[in-house]
Amino acid sequence: MTRLAIVGAMHEEIAALRPCLAGLRTERRAGRDFHFGGLDGHDVILVRCGIGKVAAAITTAVLLDAYDASALLFTGVAGGLGDGVRVGDIVVATTLLQHDMNAEPLFPRWEVPLTGRARFDADPAWSARLARAGHALAATNAHARAATLHQGLVVSGDRFVATHAESDQLLAVLPDALAVEMEGAAVAQVCHDFARPFAVVRTISDRADDAAHGDFQRFVRDVAAPYSRDVVRAALAA
């Protein structure tokens, strides 16, 4: 049977999904709680991976190797970088890159050494399902009113981007980046190595600027949980 992993970095990003699992059973491994259950006709493993690329990579490796997940959906929040990517918007990644990877002059900037690539593509089918779900949610749901769905490059690094200067710097060198977060590209690299499909959906909690810290905390407290739940459930039901 296929097993779908659903992953978020923080408690709030998966909290509203946990009560939706039928026949919930929890196993602890590598310091994480892996929740097993049924969700909208899918056999699901739900887990909070923790914040940052290493935490995401460890969790992804456990999901794919120990638990044999056949595909992985990552849900959570991100800072908006691209023009017109506003708080409350939804971003579905088509491709991901580690913005803090730099082994120059041995390898080109951003390239993951010895892989020959800097960008890791998300699965088109799962991304399309998430995009359709995000689009519908943006149009209809009270907490996503007037939101826009974006699809494109999401960049990840072990840094919470919280100044105009830093977000401007990122955009200057990666002008097609829509959003910045701290896990997606690590998940992408591990899924690539295991040849398993994955997709990443993020709701924009802040603009990665000097107000990011306050906006992020407010958004995570008030809307991150229902946002994640609704977009993931709509994608599973599609």
CB 37 within 8 A of CB 22: yes
Encoded one letter per residue, x for contact with ligand ADE by CB under 6 A and - for no contact, window 214-233 reads --x-----------------
Is 206 annotated in the active site?
yes
Residue at token pair 């909208």: 40
- Candidates 29-37, 128-136, 146-154, 204-212; binding stretch for ligand ADE (CB under 6 A): 204-212
Distances (CA, A) of 218 to 95, 214, 222, 223: 28, 6, 6, 8
Is 13 annotated in the active site?
yes
Helices (H), 151-183: 164-173
CA 124 to chain centre: 15
Query: Longest C-alpha distance within the chain, in Å?
Result: 52
Encoded one letter per residue, x for contact with ligand ADE by CB under 6 A and - for no contact, window 52-91 reads -------------------------xxx------------
Encoded one letter per residue, x for contact with ligand ADE by CB under 6 A and - for no contact, window 125-164 reads -----------------------------------xxx--
Interface residues with ligand ADE (CB under 6 A) are 77-79, 160-162, 180-182, 205-206, 208, 212, 216
